[in-house]
Amino acid sequence: MAAPAALDRRVLLTRTLTLTAAILAAGLGFVVFLQFGASDGFDAFDVLRALLIFASTFWLAWGAFTALAGLTTRPPAVPRDAGPLQGMTAILVPVYNEDPVATFARIAAMDASLRATGQRDRFHFAILSDTRNEEVAASERIWFLRLLADTHGEGRIFYRRRTNNKGRKAGNIEDFIKRSGAAYTFAIILDADSLMEGDTMVEMVRRMQAAPDLGLLQTLPTVIRARSRFGRIMQFAGAFYSPIFARGLAMMQGRTGPFWGHNAIVRVQAFAQSCGLPELAGRPPFGGHILSHDYVEAALLARAGWTVRVDDDLSGSYEEAPENIIDHAKRDRRWCQGNLQHSRLLMAPGLKAWSRFVFLQGILAYIAPVFWLAFLAASIAAPLFSPPIDYFPIEYWPFPVIPVSQVSKALLLAVGVGGLLFLPKLLILLDAALRGRTRGFGGAIRTLQSTLTELLFSSITAPVFLMFQTRSVLQVLRGADGGWPAQTRGDGTLSFRDAWAASHWIVTTGGIVLAFAQWLSPQLVPWLLPVALPMVLAPVLISWSSRPSRTTLFTTPAERQAPPVMALHDRVLTRWGADLDQRDAA
């Protein structure tokens, strides 16, 4: 492994180059738009729109150059302890109104996977229930007994249900650390839909043992079991693009890395000493319990001198994801509120500068869509505030002066924004083809088709996501608390009626945008169609994309060959499902 000083220099260089490139790209967009906007006379609206372009373009550029960092850098080799596993590791599975059959079957599969490593006796499972639904809680107790019988897990698999779910997931884990943490050296934190290979868990412990200063090690979870069109497109995008983005992130984060709340291992002592979360003063959404607790916990570990790292080379870490745009938007609403809460923590004492920047990034991730929408609104309204064009600016000159066309600058700006969106993914495709990584996705041709289709789908649905995110930000700013709704799992199919009920306001907004553009700025209508038409068609897009996928595109390695722990999970579900059928028949 590279010496810490050398690694820190690489991290600093990567951060500096990426940040500089993003600022330059945003600055170029600012200048080009200022020239374009001022072609019919300079006014304050031109400055406002140029500033909105700067802020929005910076966020796009940051993501693009993160991918480039992932393509052009390689994280150093990490140390691992090949000796006996030391201490005990708790595998924490927080649940909140989840289907106990599906959740406990995952635990049975992971337990069987650990048995195959020969290290099962070094791991305990702790099911931490925050379930509020009494019927679901009763079912949890029944299926916990079945889990124990199936795995012979007495003394290794534990269940407890809190009477008060204070602090939600973070409070649930904190309660376990306070009550039982002293019995464990490490804790692997999962979600109810997480799956992880036993070999991966053992490897995580070995890496923790080899680095005494390592407080948290984050894996890159791969989405599995998607069935809908939306789900499979997102599953493909995650499996194909995310490793490259994660590699770039790893090189920028260095020892001040991320925590995504699950599929990670923590050193219990470090977590207990460093990660007590405050309850923010005031009422939600900005006060109360911190929703996006994971980023805060990573920052607190770094503040205390612990290393927080993401190892993108760790495979065998899986999760499930929403099957439709509406469920995705509901989850995103909670993340939006949590990230905006971080504005209260930007000046918290003792935090690393990079941790503060990460908080700022998270805030910008949700504010940027508002900037884009504000830019569109300002562009439509600009004629109301722009001075009329003076075709005779020179006194006594008899011939009109026709303003020079600025179409080329508008096209340059459009191409630049499009490049920031599409070029990183196309470069990832090229890199995958050269390295042979496309074989796991069905070959080079099939991967090319999947990538181009994903680019088209993401472009069409981007305005719909923009509207959901903008609404989330406005709800938080006006003081609406989104709470912590239970995850919606299952096939996720939505009828047109359901899609209309959830998105009719987007249709109305799209129609208003086109109407005002036609009235105030007819020349903008062709430019606005790629944004406004998907808004008008939002219910169709949402319903269509929620339906089961039958295409051969978007194949992922996990679909081509099911990982061992997935196969184990399928066998447990089949066995338990047969027992349920027999019980129902009786």
Per-residue confidence (pLDDT) for residue 42, from 0 to 100: 63
**Which of 46-55, 201-210, 482-491 bottoms out in mean pLDDT, i.e. has the lowest?**
482-491
Whether the pLDDT of residue 391 is over 50: the answer is no
Considering only CA atoms, which of 174, 205, 190, 187 is closest in space to residue 262? 190
- 173 vs 437: CA distance, rounded Å: 37
Whether the pLDDT of residue 150 is over 80: the answer is yes
Q: Which residue is associated with the tokens 């096209």?
A: 411
Domain map (residue ranges) of the chain:
4-74+365-387+407-555
Which of 33-42, 214-223, 405-414 reaches the highest mean pLDDT? 214-223
Q: Where are the alpha helices (DSSP H) in 74-157?
A: 100-117, 134-151
Model confidence over 185-205: pLDDT tens digits?
Answer: 999 999 999 999 999 999 999
**Which of 87-91, 170-174, 374-378, 412-416 bottoms out in mean pLDDT, i.e. has the lowest?**
412-416
- 243 vs 241: CA distance, rounded Å: 6
Q: Which residue is associated with the tokens 């319990």?
A: 289
The dihedral through the CA atoms of 411, 23, 62, 292 has a sign that is: negative
Per-residue confidence (pLDDT) for residue 3, from 0 to 100: 59
The dihedral through the CA atoms of 257, 261, 263, 268 has a sign that is: positive
C-alpha to C-alpha distances, 267 to 178, 212, 213, 215, 292, nearest whole angstrom: 14, 9, 9, 5, 20
* Averaged pLDDT, 361-368: 92
Whether residue 312 contacts residue 220, with contact meaning beta carbons closer than 8 Å, is answered with yes
Assigned token pair, 576 = 């338990």
Assigned token pair, 302 = 């770094």
- 333 vs 219: CA distance, rounded Å: 24
Q: What percentage of the chain has pLDDT greater than the value 90?
A: 71
- Element housing 53 (H / E): helix 44-72
Per-residue confidence (pLDDT) for residue 584, from 0 to 100: 58
CA angle centred on 487, ends 485 and 493, rounded to 5°: 120
- 61 vs 53: CA distance, rounded Å: 12
* Averaged pLDDT, 431-435: 96
308: phi then psi, degrees, rounded to nearest 5: -120, 125
Q: Where are the alpha helices (DSSP H) in 304-352?
A: 325-341
Whether residue 380 contacts residue 39, with contact meaning beta carbons closer than 8 Å, is answered with no
Model confidence over 506-560: pLDDT tens digits?
Answer: 999 999 999 988 888 888 888 889 999 999 999 999 999 999 999 889 999 999 9
Per-residue confidence (pLDDT) for residue 59, from 0 to 100: 86
Judged on CB neighbours under 10 Å (0-12, 13-18, 19+), 250 is buried
Q: Where are the alpha helices (DSSP H) in 521-561?
A: 525-536, 538-546, 557-560
- 517 vs 380: CA distance, rounded Å: 6
pLDDT mean across residues, the chain? 89
- Element housing 351 (H / E): none
Model confidence over 14-34: pLDDT tens digits?
Answer: 999 999 999 999 999 888 888
Whether residue 135 contacts residue 167, with contact meaning beta carbons closer than 8 Å, is answered with no
- Element housing 78 (H / E): none
* Averaged pLDDT, 367-379: 86
Q: Each residue of 572-584: b (16+ CB within 10 Å) or e? A: bbeebeeeeeeee
Per-residue confidence (pLDDT) for residue 31, from 0 to 100: 86
- 294 vs 20: CA distance, rounded Å: 28
